[in-house]
């Protein structure tokens, strides 16, 4: 089963003892502060789906000093399943990576009926959360520690975008984005491993690579491993993608390319492909690519088609693409591209 990325909490008799609207003397459940801190440090996102008055609930969360933990809290009078759907959309994660915890069996059943892939848990078992394997990532990286902060930065971007008047490309240009592509170093490998496990939509094969696998590939003379990072005036999105290339006699073969779906709206989905095309052309090679269909990576398939790759082999769910590099899509004009190139290439600043 997939790792869980978000825990959504009910409030009354779940996060705290007592019922807010009945004027009870509310107290946080034992160990809640420690549990929230541990989950947050692991990069697990936290949110709220509660039937309550929004202002009163937020005031209480602030009084307890824990309001900062919760992203996109849904506090109101609608169905919990609707709240879960809004949280899932705002966080842009799979429904099957959400856990919902509530003291009311009816609410748990309502969510499970609407969203069968959501994991549900009775509030009485809340102290088991930190022991659950699916809430214990295989690795905790710098990005894991900053994950909540990165979402908060993204909320600022979204607010700015809503207020911006003008074409979308003008807004993207106003962000002062820098897209940096560099050859992976050993300190990048934990995050690279994490990306292969967490990224599903813009992922060409769905194959997971361990830290040891990646370390071997970084030291292989027949492979290149690049990672990319996106920053803007609000902060860093962190390392958001990678590309693994095998060097063959007549071609480069992309064994894996992936990009975090959080950055799709920034128009960077095909930047790494354009970079690889420029590099392969400078090396005098064709460019091939492995693609394995999964139930979630159609966006990656479309990215290959959009950048003029053609299918040369197809066998069940495996496709081999090829590009003769006669047409290479340029980088978006609103991005500053900084690249670590093996060859001298056009576009971008070589570092």
Q: Examine the domain organization and report whether 84 and 153 are in the same domain.
A: no
Same domain, 49 and 88: yes
Indicate whether 81 and 50 sit together in one domain: yes
Residue-number span of the structural domain to which 204 is assigned: 142-350
Which pLDDT score is estimated for 343?
A: 64
Token output for 256? 């894996």
pLDDT score of 260 more than 90: no
Average pLDDT over residues 68-72: 96
Q: Do 123 and 250 lie in a common domain? A: no
Residue 164 lies in a domain: yes
> Do residues 235 and 164 share a domain?
yes
Q: Are residues 128 and 167 in the same domain?
A: no
CA proximity to 338, closest of 207, 226, 225 = 226
- According to the model, what pLDDT value does residue 135 have? 95
149 with 129, same domain: the answer is no
Measured between alpha carbons, how far is residue 264 from residues 41, 98, 240, 258 in Å?
A: 26, 21, 10, 12
Q: Please report how the helices 142-163 and 189-198 are oriented relative to each other, as an axis angle in degrees rounded to 10.
A: 60
Give every CB contact of residue 157 below 8 A, 6+ residues apart in sequence.
175, 232, 234
179 shares a domain with 124? no
**In the chain, where do the E strands start and end?**
6-9, 16-17, 27-28, 45-51, 74-76, 98-102, 119-122, 177-183, 202-203, 223-232, 235-247, 251-259, 286-292, 310-315, 318-323, 335-339, 349-350
In a domain, 1, yes or no: no
How many domains would you assign to the chain? 2
Confidence class of residue 267 from pLDDT cuts 50, 70 and 90? confident
pLDDT in tens, 120-148: 999 999 999 999 999 998 777 777 888 89
Residue 304 CA, distance from chain mean position:
20
Task: State the CATH number of the domain containing residue 243.
Answer: 3.40.630.30
DSSP 222: T
Supply the CATH number for residue 20's domain.
3.40.50.1000
- The yes-or-no verdict on residue 172 having pLDDT over 50 is yes
Query: Is the model's pLDDT at 351 over the cut of 80?
Result: no
pLDDT value of position 14: 97
Distance between CA atoms of 5 and 30, rounded to whole angstroms?
23
Specify if 271 maps to a domain: yes
Asked if 204 and 267 sit in the same domain, the reply is yes
Are 117 and 224 found together in one domain? no
pTM (2 d.p.): 0.74
290-349 pLDDT, tens digit each: 999 988 899 899 999 999 999 999 988 899 999 999 999 999 999 999 998 776 444 444
């Amino acid at each position: 089963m997939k790792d869980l990325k978000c825990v959504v909490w009910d409030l009354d008799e779940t996060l705290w003892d007592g019922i807010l609207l009945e004027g009870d003397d509310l107290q946080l459940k034992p160990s809640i502060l420690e549990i929230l801190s541990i989950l947050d440090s692991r990069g697990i996102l936290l949110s709220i789906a509660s039937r309550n008055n929004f202002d009163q609930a937020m005031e209480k969360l602030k009084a307890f000093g824990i309001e900062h933990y919760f992203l996109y809290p849904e506090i109101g009078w609608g169905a919990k399943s609707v709240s879960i759907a809004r949280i899932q959309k705002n966080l842009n994660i799979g429904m099957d990576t959400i856990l919902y915890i509530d003291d009311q069996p009816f609410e748990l059943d309502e969510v499970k009926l609407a969203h069968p892939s959501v994991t549900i848990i009775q509030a009485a078992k809340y102290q088991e959360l930190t022991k659950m394997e699916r809430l214990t990532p295989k690795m905790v990286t710098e990005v894991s520690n900053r994950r909540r902060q990165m979402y908060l930065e993204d909320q600022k971007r979204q607010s700015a975008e809503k207020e911006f008047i003008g074409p979308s490309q003008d807004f993207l240009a106003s962000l002062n984005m820098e897209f940096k592509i560099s050859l992976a170093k050993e300190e990048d490998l934990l995050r690279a491993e994490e990306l292969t496990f967490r990224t599903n939509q813009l992922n060409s094969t769905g194959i997971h690579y361990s830290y040891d696998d990646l370390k071997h590939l970084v030291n292989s003379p027949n492979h290149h491993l690049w990672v990319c990072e996106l920053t803007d005036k609000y902060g860093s999105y962190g390392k958001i993608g990678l590309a693994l290339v095998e060097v063959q006699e007549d071609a480069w073969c992309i064994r894996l390319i992936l990009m975090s779906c959080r950055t799709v709206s920034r128009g960077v989905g095909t930047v790494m492909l354009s970079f690889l095309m420029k590099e392969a052309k400078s090396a005098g090679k064709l460019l091939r690519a492995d693609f394995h269909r999964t139930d979630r990576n159609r966006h990656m398939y479309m990215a290959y088609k959009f950048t003029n790759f053609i299918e040369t082999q197809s066998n069940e769910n495996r496709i081999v693409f090829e590009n003769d590099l006669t047409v290479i899509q340029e980088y978006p004009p609103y991005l500053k591209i900084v690249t670590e190139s093996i060859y001298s290439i056009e576009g971008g600043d070589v570092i």
